[in-house]
Structure 1
Amino acid sequence: MSFGAQPFVERLPLAERIAAKTGRAEVGLSKRPRPAERAISLFLLACGALSILTTIGFTVVLGSEALHFFSTTEWLNANKQTTAAISADDTRLSVASSGSALNVGSTLRLGFDDASEHVLITEIVNNETIIVERGVDGTTAVEHTTGAPVYVAAQVTLSKFLTDNKWSPQIGRFGVMELVIPTLVITVIAMVVSIPLGLGAAIYIGEYANPRVRSILKPILEILAGIPTVVYGYFALTFVTPLLQSIFGVQVQVYNMLSAGIVVGILIIPTISSIGEDALSAVPRALREASYGLGATKLETVFKVLLPAALSGIVAAVILGFSRAVGETMIVLIASGAGPNLTVNPFDSAETMAGHIARISTGDLSYGSIDYNSVFAIGLTLFIMTLLLNFASTLVTRRFREVYQ
C-alpha cells in the first residue's frame, strides 16, 4: 500500500466505520426524541405568538374605537331656541341671539330627538335670522312651534384634528395640537436633562469607576427607575417648582412644564445610562488598547474611539428615552397642569396627551360620547408617535451598527 492511500475502513461511511470499530452490526445515528425540549420550544413559540396577537388586538381595538371619533356626529347644544313658529315650507328661521355662534354650512337639528329634522344653514341674515335648507340628511321637513331647541352637528375631520388650535370637544373644537405641542415641549426639556447626565453616568461607570464604585452607583441608578412616578410628580410639585420660582420669580406658575420636564428627565436617566453603558461595553477592548498604544488619553479614547464605535446603541438609548418621556403620565398630570394650553413657554401650565387621557378617564364618561371617543383618538395619536420612534430606533441601530470579529 502506498503512503498516500487511505485504509479501506477509513473510506467507508461514518456509520459503517463506527460499526467496524465497535463490532456492532448496526449503529443508530438518528435524533433521539426529547419531549421536554419539544415542549419548551412549543411554549416559547406560543409566548411569541401571544405577544404578536396581543399587539395586533390592541392596535385593532384602538383603531376601531378611534374611528368612531372621526365617523360619529355629535350634537352640541347651541343654547338657542326658535323664536317663532315655522311651517314645513319655511326656509327663514328666527332664533334667539344668545347662545353659540352659527356658521354658514353648519347642520342644525331642531328638537331633542335624534330623528328630529335636520337643516343646513345657507345664509346668515343677522344674529336672529338664518336661511336654511330644510329636511337634509334624509329627514323630513315638519312644522315647529316656538321654543324648539337648536343643536349644532359636530363631526371631526382629519384636517380639523391636525390643524385646529383648540381642543374642546364639548364645543366642537378638535385640535389635538393643543395637546401635542406641550407633550413635545416637556419631552425636549426631559431630553436636555437626561442625555448629558445619562451618557455621563454611562461613561463614568463603564470607563472610569473602579469595581467598588461601580457596585455602588449602578444600584442607585436602578433605584431611580423603580421609584413610583406619582412620587416623582409630587417631588416636582413640592420641591422643583418652588426652587424654580425662587430662581425665576413669579413668572413660574405653580403648575408648569419646566418642572415636569426636569423630573421626567431624571426619570429616564437610568434608561439612557443602562443602555449606553451596554453599548460602550460591547466595544472590543482591542480598540481601547490600540488607542492607548497610539498615545491617546482616556478622555480622547472615550470621545474619539468609544462613542463613535457605540453610536448605534447610544442613539437607540436616546430614542427609547424619548419614547418613555412622550408617554409619561403621572408626573405631567400632577406637575404640569390639568387643562389644554397651546404654548411653548415652559413656565406656563399645559396638558400633555397622556395626562389628558388620565384626567378625563377618571370622570364619568358615557359610552359613545364625544369625550369617550376622543380618548381613543388621542391614544392612537400617542401610539403612532411612539411606534414611529421605535421604528426610527431600529433603523438607526441597523444603519450605524459596528460589527467586530
Structure 2
Amino acid sequence: MTVFLLLCLMLVLAVAAFVVCRARALALSGGKIGVLHSLPGYYGWHGAIMVLLPGLAVLLVWLVVQPMVIESRISATLPAELTADDSARALAMADVRRLAAGLDVAIAAGSVTVDASGTPQIAGSGTMREALAEAGVALAEDVSPQILTAAQAYRGLSATGAAWRALAVLAAALAGFALAVRMTEPELRARNRVEGVVEGLLMAASTIAILTTVGIVWSMLSETFNFFSMYPAADFFFGLTWSPNFRGDSELGFIPLLWGTLYISLISMLVAVPIGLFAAIYLAEYASPAVRGWVKPLIEVIAGIPTVVFGLFALVTVGPLLRDYFAEPLGLGNSGSSVMTAGIVIGILNIPFISSLADDIINAVPQALRDGSYGLGATKSETVRQVIIPAALPGIVGAVLLAASRAIGETMIVSMGAGAAAKLDLNPFEAMTTMTVKIVGQLTGDTDFASPETLVAFALGMTLFVITLGLNILALYVVRKYREQYE
C-alpha cells in the first residue's frame, strides 16, 4: 500500500471519528448542550486528532527507520569489494535502489513477472538485462550480478515493509479511534485538548523556521571548517588571486570575488535607489489616483520577470550598447560583458523592490505630520524633504537593504552580463564576476567534495552570509538612530 493511499485511509478514519464522537457527545448530553464541558464540535475534532496523531507518528517513524534497516541488511550481503569503504558502499546501494526501481517499472510493463514467492522472472527469453532494457530501464555494463540480486532482495524487503507499515499505521489509527470514542464523556475537556494540539502545531511551525536557519548555518560552518583544514585561512581571506585548479597548485584568494561583488552591487544601487525612491515619492505624493492606478502596476511588473530574461537582456542589448557607444569610443574596452552591464540590469531589477516598499512606507506616514507642516507654511516639496522622508526613513532603509541583498545574491544576470573573470580592476567596462557565480561554478559538474577547490564554495557562502549579516546590523543601527528623533 502506497503512502498516499495510507494517508487517504487515515483521513477517512478521521472523518468517521469526528462524526461518531460528535454524535456520541450529543447523545450523552440528552439534548442539553450545557451539560457538556465543550461544544460538540470539539468532541468531534478530538476524535479526529486521536486518529491522526498516532497514525502519522507511526508512519513517520516507519518511513525513517525502514530504509536504514533494509539498506543495512542488503549491504551485509554484498561482496567485500563493493563495501570496502563508505563511499563504495553508498555507490553500491545507489545502484541497488536504482535497479529495484527499474524492476518495478519492468514488472509494470510486463517484461518481467513475479512468481509465487515474489521473485522476479523474465517474461520471455533472454536475460534480465534485456528484459529491463525492453521496459526502458538501461543498465550500465559494469553492473554485477550481485548488485542485480541485491536489487531483487531490496524490492522484496521494501514490499514486505510496506505491508507491515500499512498494518501498523492502520492499527494505531483504529486504536486511537476506539480510545477517542471511549473517552467521549460530558466531563471530557475536549476544547482544552484540541486547543493544546493546535498550539503545539503552531509552535512546531515556528520551530521549523528556526531549525531551518540553524541547519543552513551548521551545514555551511561544517564544510567551511573542512575547507580551512585543507587550505590556509590567511591565503583565502587575503589572497589577491583566484585560480582554482583541481590538479593542484590552486590559489583561492577571495578578494577579487569580493571586489566584483561589491562593485556590481554598488552600481546597481546607484541605479535602483534614486529611480525607485523618486518613483515612490511621485506615486505617493504627487501622482493623481488615475496616474497611480496604471503607473504602479507597470513598475511592479518588472519584479515578475525571471532573472534569466534580465540576463538575456544584459547579454543581447545592454552589453553591446555600452560597448559600442561608451567603452570602445572612450578606449575603456571592447567587451559586452562588464561590471556596468550587470550593475545596470540588476539595478533595473531592483527598482520595484525599492519603489513598492518605499511607497507603502510613505503612505503609512500619519497625515497629521503633513497637515502640521502645511499649517506652518511649508510647501509640498519642503514637507516631503523635511518631514515625510525623515519619518519614513526606517522603512526606506529596509527597502534599500532588501535591494542590496538581492543585488549581492544575484547570479544569473552576473554570469550572463558580467563574465567570469575574477580580478581587481577599477574599469567598470571590464568583465568581472561575483562570489555567487563562483559558488555555482565550483559546485557544478563532476566535483570532488574532498578537495579544497570544491569546499571553497561553502567558505564563500559563509563569508557572504557574514557580510549580509553585517549589513543587517548596520541598517538596524541607522534605523534606531533616526527613529529616536520622532518618538
Report the TM range for the smaller structure's normalisation: 0.5 to 0.7
1:46 shift after superposition: 1.6
How far is the alpha carbon of 1:367 from its aligned partner? 2.2
Tell me the equivalent position of 2:210: 52
- Superposed, 1:293-312 pairs within 5 Å as 293-312=375-394
1:277 alignment partner, one of 333, 354, 359: 359
Number of positions where the alignment pairs a residue of Structure 1 with one of Structure 2: 292
Which of residues 230, 236, 250 is equivalent to 2:314?
236
Report the Cα offset of residue 220 of structure 1.
Answer: 1.9
Equivalents in 2 of 1:215, 1:352: separation in Å? 38
CA contact (8 A) 1:186 1:257 kept: yes
The equivalent position to 1:339 in structure 2, one of 417, 421, 426, is: 421
The residue correspondences of 1:5-404 to structure 2 (distance < 5 A) are 33=191, 38-72=196-230, 156-170=231-245, 171-250=249-328, 251-401=333-483
Task: Give unpaired runs (5+ residues) of structure 1.
Answer: 1-30, 73-155
Q: Tell me the secondary structure at the aligned position of residue 338 of structure 1.
A: coil
CA distance, structure 2, for counterparts of residue 385 and residue 228 of structure 1: 26
Q: How large is the Cα RMSD of the aligned pairs?
A: 2.1
- How far did 1:314 drift? 1.3
- TM-score normalized with structure 1 length: 0.68
Deviations 1:6-65 (A, max 9, x none): xxxxxxxxxxxxxxxxxxxxxxxxx99466655544333222111011101110110100
Larger radius of gyration: 1
Rate the CA distance shift 1:36–1:207 in 2: closer, same or farther, 3 A: farther
- Residue 425 of structure 2: SS of its match in structure 1? coil
Question: Which position in structure 1 is the counterpart of 2:121?
Answer: none
In 2: Cα distance, 1:336 partner to 1:195 partner:
21
What is the TM-score when the length of structure 2 is the normalising length?
0.57
Q: Distance in 2 between matches of 1:385 and 1:281?
A: 31
Shift of 1:282: 2.1
How far apart in 2 are the matches of 1:32 and 1:304?
58
Measured at CA, do residues 35 and 203 of structure 1 come closer, stay the same or move farther in structure 2, by a change above 3 Å?
A: farther
Structure 2 vs 1, CA of residues 360 and 45 (structure 1 numbering), >3 Å: closer, same or farther?
same
Against the structure 1 CA distance between its residues 378 and 35, is the aligned structure 2 distance closer, same or farther, given a 3 Å change threshold? same
CA contact (8 A) 2:236 2:252 kept: yes
Tell me, in whole angstroms, the C-alpha distance in 2 between the residues paired with 1:399 and 1:40: 40
Residue type of the partner of 1:162?
F
What is the alpha-carbon distance in structure 2 between the residues aligned to residue 371 and residue 400 of structure 1?
45
8 Å CA contact retained: 2:414, 2:434? yes
TM-fit CA distance, 1:301 = 0.9
The residue matched to 1:401 in structure 2 has which SS? helix
The structural deviation recorded for 1:202 is 0.9
CA gap of 1:40–1:206, structure 2 versus 1, over 3 A, is farther
- Structure 1, 176-185 or 213-222: larger mean CA deviation: 213-222
Conserved in 2, the CA contact under 8 Å of 1:166 and 1:178?
A: yes
Contact 1:189 1:265 in 2 (8 A): yes
Q: Deviations over 1:353-390 (max 9, x none)?
A: 01111233222212212221111111111111112212
The whole-number CA distance in structure 1 between the counterparts of 2:468 and 2:317 is 30
Structure with more of its chain in strand, by fraction: 1
**Greater per-residue helix proportion:** 2
1:126-166 CA-to-partner distances (Å, cap 9, x unmatched) read xxxxxxxxxxxxxxxxxxxxxxxxxxxxxx22221121100
Asked whether the equivalents of residues 320 and 390 of structure 1 are also in contact (C-alpha less than 8 Å), the reply is: no
Alpha-carbon deviation of 1:297? 1.5
Between the aligned partners of 2:293 and 2:196, the Cα distance in structure 1 is 40
How many Å separate the matches in 2 of 1:164 and 1:237? 30
Whole-Å Cα distance in 2 between the matches of residues 357 and 220 of structure 1? Answer: 34
Q: Look up the equivalent residue of 2:339 and give its one-letter code.
A: M
Is contact 2:280–2:356 with CA below 8 Å preserved after alignment? Answer: yes
How far off is 1:393 after superposition? 2.5
Quick one: structure 1 residues 373 and 213, their matched pair in 2 at CA, closer, same or farther if it must change by over 3 Å?
same
Contact 2:322/2:336 (<8 A) preserved: no
Relative to 1, partners in 2 of residues 1:350 and 1:249: Cα closer, same or farther, differing over 3 Å?
A: closer
Give the equivalent residue in structure 2 for 1:78.
Answer: none
